[in-house]
Amino acid sequence: MYAFDWSSIPASLPFLWQGMLVTLQITLVAIVVGILLGTIIAVVRLSKNPILSALAAAYVTLFRSIPLVMVLLWFQLALVPPVVRWLFPKSNLDLNLLIAFTAFAFFEASYYAEIIRTGIQSISKGQVMAAQALGMTDGAVMRLVILPQAFRRMIPLLLTQAIILFQDSSLVYVIGLADFFGVAKNRADSTGSQVEFILFAGAVYLILCLTLSTIVRQLQKRIVI
Amino acid sequence: MISIRDISKWYGAFHVLKDCSTEIQKGEVVVVCGPSGSGKSTLIKCVNGLEPFQKGEVIIEGTSVGAKKTNLPKLRARVGMVFQHFELFPHLSVFQNLTIAQCRVLRRSAGEAEEKAGRLLDLVGLRAHARKFPAQLSGGQQQRVAIARALAIRPRVLLLDEPLSALDAQLRQDMVGELQGLRRSLPDVAMLYVTHDQAEALALADRIAVMRDARLVDVDTADRLYHQPPSQFTAAFLGGANLLPGMVLATTPDGGARVQIAGVDVPVDKNSGFDVGDQVLLCVRPHALELAGANGGLSAQLVSAQWRGASYRLGLTVDGDQRLHADVPSLTGLPAVGEPVAVRIPADAAVLIRPDVEAK
């Protein structure tokens, strides 16, 4: 029978915490930028301009049709480094972190855009008419009436997507970035306690995701709109 | 103040509005009344441009609603609207529902908007509920907030799209009284009110526009449409008149006529220009019919009696198939259901209508 040896883990906790910070940074940036960009894409997709709408639809289709690993590699090999070199030729930016931020933000934006589009469309025409009847412009109707209601309805879906994103962030190992999972894997290789580190990392992901899922369930019960 | 001129709207071959025209003056209440699906709600939404239309023109205080150069949001800021299902913003409190357009559309200061919102909540009796959200209010309270919200922009024109139809019967009656009070407090506001309820129309209207199959078929004062309906449809729709087919037997020098109804000679005080031999419909309201025991009028059979609290509605047949309704305060002295009864039509309560006036 396999004899577990957990002794390497306490000494690795500071490294794992550093990795967790990277994971949380990627998750947070991707959520914030993804939702902002996703909102713009969703609004553009619902616009009356057929060209803009088609472009927004193409963006969503493109990113939702490609595996995230491939997006990360594209951003690393072809997109981010040349742009950064062009924009900031003398900078010492952490390129891998920047690649992770941008790849996740652009990738998640396509998923958030679909959630937000559905949320916007769930608001009744009567609400839109009531806002227009008060003299609001289309922009004001969207900003003051539709989006605030839509976001309340979307919170559970947005958080569920955030949980998926948190888990998917472990894929950054393909661009050589040491997030929580990457650090755990490195420590596992260097200490020889592979099973223990993978189990420990899995337990951390499980606890965090279960906690977030519980919050989502509670929110679903409380959101009445 | 509002001029609706030959408005038409269609989807392919299906017309939802056909050449609708009417005018609403400052301080006037015009009620568009018609059965469900006749196009009333579409018409009222065309007035402030919420629904586009293909033909015709709507002019509000000199501004054409359908014109390309018209700034619709600016125009709508002068036109309050109350919707059938209230359409309060559920994410905002009652107070915020009343201040949002004032602050964000009319650019009033927060202080001014709040002061106005407070006064309107006093007017509709909901000051104590200002911090609540719409979901925490009853249907009647929500509708009051919706009315206050429409008034918060200090509109010159008020559009009300079946504002009471989502409420229960008792509440509807109470709200009709409140709307009458509101109307008195807004003497300069032109109101266009849509309803399928003829009682609401009669209670609130200066003029009623009867709508049928996408057309405004009759537009006149409530009193004239009720007492001298110009068409068979309006007679039946407003007040549920009895319509008995007959023929003019003679005209009288004092402006009356004698009409043969089911073989009986019935005098009518007012002849509306019919000649001897004309086929007519004799229109008489259920409450005006008199039941005269076994003799002295049209021979009828009592087929049903429904108690309605304050009165009974009787179902009668004349000549075996023509159905009449009569409202009586009590069944005392009347024959039992299934027995014959004589129906007398008071000469001053009957109006003659040409059958072919009915809208197509």
Q: How many Å apart are CA A11 and CA B60, to the nearest integer? A: 78
Q: Is the pLDDT of residue A35 over 80?
A: yes
Identity of the amino acid at A171: L
Residue A215 three-state SS: helix
Residue B330 three-state SS: coil
Q: Please name the residues in contact with B112: beta carbons below 8 A apart, sequence gap of 6 or more.
A: B102
Q: Among A140-149, B57-66, B311-320, B326-335, where is mean pLDDT lowest?
A: B326-335
pLDDT, position B165: 82
Residue B201 three-state SS: helix
Q: How many Å apart are CA A31 and CA B303, to the nearest integer? A: 73
Q: Is the pLDDT of residue B33 over 70?
A: yes
B interface toward A at CB cutoff 8 Å?
45, 48, 50, 72-77, 79-81, 83, 85, 87-91, 100-101, 104-106, 135, 149-150, 153, 159
Q: How many Å apart are CA A154 and CA A42, to the nearest integer? A: 13
pLDDT, position B357: 47
Q: Chain B within 8 Å of A144 (Cβ-Cβ)?
A: yes
Q: Chain B within 8 Å of A132 (Cβ-Cβ)?
A: yes
Residue from B166, B179, B147 nearest B29 by CA = B179
Residue B215 three-state SS: strand
Chain A interface, best mutation among B104, B136, B149, by max A CB count within 10 A: B104
Q: Is the pLDDT of residue B74 over 80?
A: yes
Q: How many Å apart are CA B147 and CA B155, to the nearest integer? A: 11
Q: Diameter of chain A by CA atoms? A: 75
pLDDT over 90, % of chain B: 36
Q: Is the pLDDT of residue B43 over 90?
A: yes
CA distance, residue A129 to nearest chain B CA (Å):
7
- Residue B296 zone, left/alpha/beta (φ > 0; ψ -120 to 50; rest): left
pLDDT over 90, % of chain A: 48
Cβ(B343)–Cβ(B292) under 8 Å?
yes
pLDDT, position B356: 59
Buried b (16+ CB within 10 A) or exposed e, B307-321: eeeeebbbbbebeee
Q: Is the pLDDT of residue A118 over 90?
A: yes
Task: Select from A130, A136, A148 the Cβ nearest to the Cβ of B104.
Answer: A136
Q: How many Å apart are CA B292 and CA B341, to the nearest integer? A: 7
Q: For residue B176, what is the enclosing H or E element?
A: helix B169-185
pLDDT, position B360: 43
pTM given for the model: 0.81
Q: Is the pLDDT of residue B336 over 70?
A: yes
Contact A149 B91 (CB under 8 A): yes
Mean pLDDT of B122-149: 90
Q: For residue A148, what is the enclosing H or E element?
A: helix A147-168
pLDDT, position A60: 95
Task: Select from A124, A133, A140 the Cβ nearest to the Cβ of B50.
Answer: A133
Q: How many Cβ pairs within 8 Å bridge chains A and B? A: 64
The DSSP call for residue B162 is: S
Residue B195 three-state SS: strand
Q: How many Å apart are CA A128 and CA B134, to the nearest integer? A: 17
The DSSP call for residue A171 is: G
Q: How many Å apart are CA B206 and CA B99, to the nearest integer? A: 31
Mean pLDDT of B150-177: 85
Count Cβ atoms within 10 A of the Cβ of residue B330 and give its class: 0-12 exposed, 13-18 middle, 19 or more buried: exposed
Mean pLDDT of B121-136: 90
Residue B304 three-state SS: strand
pLDDT, position B359: 45
- φ, ψ of residue B340 to 5 degrees: the values are -75, 150
Task: Select from B91, B101, B159 the Cβ nearest to the Cβ of A225.
Answer: B91
Cα B101-B104-B105 angle, rounded to 5 deg: 65
Cβ(A6)–Cβ(A185) under 8 Å?
no
Q: DSSP letters along B86-122, please?
A: ----TTS-HHHHHHHHHHHTS---HHHHHHHHHHHHH
- The ipTM value here is 0.82
Q: How many Å apart are CA B291 and CA B343, to the nearest integer? A: 5
Nearest-Cα residue of chain B relative to residue A132: B73
Could you report how far apart the first and last alpha carbons of chain B are, in Å? 30
Q: Please name the residues in contact with B270: beta carbons below 8 A apart, sequence gap of 6 or more.
A: B228, B255, B256, B351, B352
What's the mean per-residue pLDDT of chain A? Answer: 88
Contact B79 A224 (CB under 8 A): no
Mean pLDDT of A86-91: 78
Q: Is the pLDDT of residue B331 over 80?
A: no
Mean pLDDT of B318-336: 81
pLDDT, position A26: 92
Contact B104 A133 (CB under 8 A): no
Nearest-Cα residue of chain A relative to residue B72: A135
Residue range B111-124, pLDDT digits in tens: 999 999 998 898 88
**A141 vs B139, more confident:** A141
Residue B279 three-state SS: strand
Residue from A34, A68, A27 nearest A166 by CA = A27
- Do strands B190-195 and B29-33 pair parallel, antiparallel, or not at all (unpaired)? parallel
pLDDT, position A92: 76
Identity of the amino acid at A82: P
pLDDT, position B358: 46
Q: Chain B within 8 Å of A139 (Cβ-Cβ)?
A: no
Contact A134 B77 (CB under 8 A): yes
Identity of the amino acid at A119: G
- Do strands B340-344 and B298-307 pair parallel, antiparallel, or not at all (unpaired)? antiparallel
State the CB neighbour count (10 A cutoff) for residue B292: 13
Structure tokens at B167: 């409420």
pLDDT, position A223: 64
pLDDT, position A195: 87
pLDDT, position B306: 87
Q: DSSP letters along B248-314, please?
A: EEEE-TTS-EEEEETTEEEEES---S--TT-EEEEEE-GGG-EE-TTSSSEEEEEEEEEE-SSSEEE
Q: For chain A, how many residues are written?
A: 225
Mean pLDDT of A48-55: 94
- φ, ψ of residue A221 to 5 degrees: the values are -70, -35
Q: Please name the residues in contact with B217: beta carbons below 8 A apart, sequence gap of 6 or more.
A: B210, B211, B231, B233, B234, B359
pLDDT, position B293: 60
The DSSP call for residue B34 is: -
Q: Is the pLDDT of residue A225 over 70?
A: no
What's the mean per-residue pLDDT of chain B? Answer: 88
The DSSP call for residue B6 is: E
- φ, ψ of residue B250 to 5 degrees: the values are -160, 150
Nearest-Cα residue of chain B relative to residue A138: B73
State the CB neighbour count (10 A cutoff) for residue B260: 15
Q: How many Å apart are CA A182 and CA A100, to the nearest integer? A: 13
**Residue A43 exposure: Cα atoms within 13 Å on the Cβ side:** 14
Buried b (16+ CB within 10 A) or exposed e, A52-65: eeeebeebbeebee
pLDDT, position B6: 93
Considering only CB atoms, which chain B residues are within 8 Å of A149? 89-91
Mean pLDDT of B32-43: 91
